[in-house]
Amino acid sequence: MLSRDGRATPLGDALAHYGRIAKTLHILRLADEPGYRRQIKVQANLQEGRHALARKIFHGRAGQLYQRYQDGMEDQIGALGLVLNALVLFNTRYLDAAVTQLRADGFEVRDEDVARLSPFVRHHVNMLGRYSFQLPDLPGGLRPVRDKNAAGSE
């Protein structure tokens, strides 16, 4: 919080110091606890895997948005998120099917190995071409709105 002359108010100064305490505790814990470091690294690796998959999907123009208008950017980001989530779901379902099949075939599949599988694999993905996310024109337009008083309506 700043006063009218641009300097921090006492409350703003106190909040800044309070934030430094949390940051210092985090850094000390990171330096002192190997388990905490591993946990942070696992989270960072997961996030980097997701970003790498998103870069593979959005490979055009080096993964940068070039529209000058906000609406076009929001549409591209929304489409990227949709495709990314669909691909993660596809990978998850097929990884589960593969593990289930291996176990059914009598192979030993340890739970600690399954826990390390990532749905962000991307080597099998071939993202070439352009894709349209426009809804087709439906014949007849919208369905009629249900009448709550009509017989048989829920």
Measured CA to CA in angstroms, residue 52 lies from 2, 9, 122 at distances of 40, 43, 8
pLDDT of residue 20: 92
Of all residues in the chain, the percent with pLDDT exceeding 90 is 18
Task: Compute the distance between CA of residue 120 and CA of residue 68 in angstroms, rounded to an integer.
Answer: 31
pLDDT tens digits, 90-145: 888 888 888 888 898 888 999 999 988 989 988 877 777 666 666 666 576 554 44
